[in-house]
Structure 1
């Protein structure tokens, strides 16, 4: 099997070596590495060029204007020629047998049943503690739907998957003006409703928790506020598609997601439009019920941004200049 490893990157020349070193040591060799440079201004290009000259790895390097991680992933998927692909973040690393473990699990499935699945999902470890990040699966080699993943077994925490490239090509991340980030769960949720996961309790990836100021962290509060349209889109999708089937399994989860819809809808100034896109009466009722919490979180964000984030970032810039 030939697979594609896609790494979207933006100004990560100082961490990208983790991917390179771990891919160089993989016991499974039949893969290409697609690096999508999302408008970096550091020495990413020079770093990758040196690897291309010296390494036997099949490294494809693509540069594009900055558009955010979803657009970089979409570009990588377009370029991918492997039957399966994986998204490896530019600051993380794969375990020595990580790819082999995933490929072996996929190939253990009979070819006539593979169309039922879209992903082989495995565990992630913390780079410092070496402990599993998040929950184990309820059993090894378990087959579950996306709904069971979230609402029956309530599995949380970082995971890593080998995914069917053809399905990702047909289901790209949405791209539009006004945001550069959509949670990865948006695609995982949508494909998980149509196809199943096969899950294994084996660690295949090492996760490096971001350090420093956190201003560039995609999952940080400032970037979530800045890209609120993408988050609201994900919340609307969950309320529309999952609420009718799974509410009584996880009522607190849906209450929180409805509150987040209000919170980020107000940040993106699109709350009414997003509210009107909710397709069920009880979905709208849940959003209204949770609105006071969402509004409170929105106000807290505004205060945090004004009195903590903006002054801290200004100080960091002054210190950098001096």
Structure 2
């Protein structure tokens, strides 16, 4: 089996070495590393060029205008040659047997049933505490659907997966000029409705939490506010496709997602349009019922942005200039 490792990178020359060093130490060697430079202005190009010269690892380096992580992932997937692929962030590192563990698990599936699966999913550890991030799976080597993952077993926390490249090629992340972030769960949810996961209780990746103020943190509040249009798609998708089947398994979950839908729809000035995109009367009712919470979250965001984020960012800019 040949694997494509895809790493989106934006001004990550100082952290990308973690990924590089971990890939060099992999016990499984049949892979290519595709680095998609999403408009970096730091030393990323020079750093990668040095690695290409000093090691025999197959490193493919692509430069593109800044378009956000989903756009970078899509670029990497388009040129990926592997049967399977994995998205490794530019500040994280794989455990030495990470790829082997995932590959061995995939190959335990009978060839005639592999088309019904899309992902081998494993655990992630925190770089500081060395503790598992989020929940364990109910059992090792369990086969579950995306709905069971979220609503039956209510598994939370970051996970890491080896995914079928062909399915990612045919299901790219949505891209637009007015947002640069779409949660990874958007694709995981969509594919998880049609295909199964095989999940293992083994740590395969070390996750490094962003430090400092977090201006560059894709999942941070500031970037989520700026990219509200990308987040809304995920919320609308869940309410439309999962509510009718799973509401009574996780009612609080759906009220939270409905509130988030209102929150980000107000940020993007598209509340009525998003409401019209809801496909069922029950979805509309839940969004209306949770609207006061969503509006409160929106007001909290505005206050946070004005009185906390903006002053600190202005201070950091002044310090950089001076």
Match of 1:5 in 2: 5
Q: CA deviation at 1:297?
A: 0.5
Correspondence 1:232-251 to 2 at 5 A: 232-251=232-251
Match of 2:84 in 1: 84
Match of 1:56 in 2: 56
- Distance in 2 between residues matched to 1:4 and 1:148, nearest whole Å: 28
Match of 2:158 in 1: 158
Residue by residue over 1:154-200, the C-alpha shift from the partner in whole angstroms, topping out at 9 and shown as x without a partner, is 00001000000000000000001210000000000000000000000
Correspondence 1:1-322 to 2 at 5 A: 1-322=1-322
**TM-score of the pair, normalised by structure 2:** 1.00
- Distance in 2 between residues matched to 1:156 and 1:34, nearest whole Å: 29
Runs of 4+ in 1 over 4 A off after TM superposition: none
- Distance in 2 between residues matched to 1:69 and 1:98, nearest whole Å: 23
Helix, strand or coil at the partner of 2:183: coil
- Distance in 2 between residues matched to 1:130 and 1:301, nearest whole Å: 32
Helix, strand or coil at the partner of 1:112: coil
Helix, strand or coil at the partner of 2:194: coil
Residue by residue over 1:52-93, the C-alpha shift from the partner in whole angstroms, topping out at 9 and shown as x without a partner, is 000111000000000000000000000100000000000000
Count residues in correspondence: 322
- Distance in 1 between residues matched to 2:55 and 2:7, nearest whole Å: 17
Q: CA deviation at 1:271?
A: 1.2
Helix, strand or coil at the partner of 1:225: helix
Q: CA deviation at 1:212?
A: 1.3
Helix, strand or coil at the partner of 1:172: coil
- Distance in 2 between residues matched to 1:109 and 1:35, nearest whole Å: 30
- Distance in 1 between residues matched to 2:305 and 2:127, nearest whole Å: 30
Helix, strand or coil at the partner of 1:5: strand
- Distance in 2 between residues matched to 1:300 and 1:138, nearest whole Å: 36
- Distance in 2 between residues matched to 1:280 and 1:71, nearest whole Å: 31
**TM-score of the pair, normalised by structure 1:** 1.00
- Distance in 2 between residues matched to 1:177 and 1:319, nearest whole Å: 30
Helix, strand or coil at the partner of 2:240: helix
Residue by residue over 1:3-48, the C-alpha shift from the partner in whole angstroms, topping out at 9 and shown as x without a partner, is 1000001000000000000000000000000000000000000000
CA RMSD of aligned residues (A): 0.5
Residue by residue over 1:92-118, the C-alpha shift from the partner in whole angstroms, topping out at 9 and shown as x without a partner, is 000000000000000111100101100
- Distance in 1 between residues matched to 2:38 and 2:266, nearest whole Å: 28
- Distance in 2 between residues matched to 1:79 and 1:93, nearest whole Å: 22
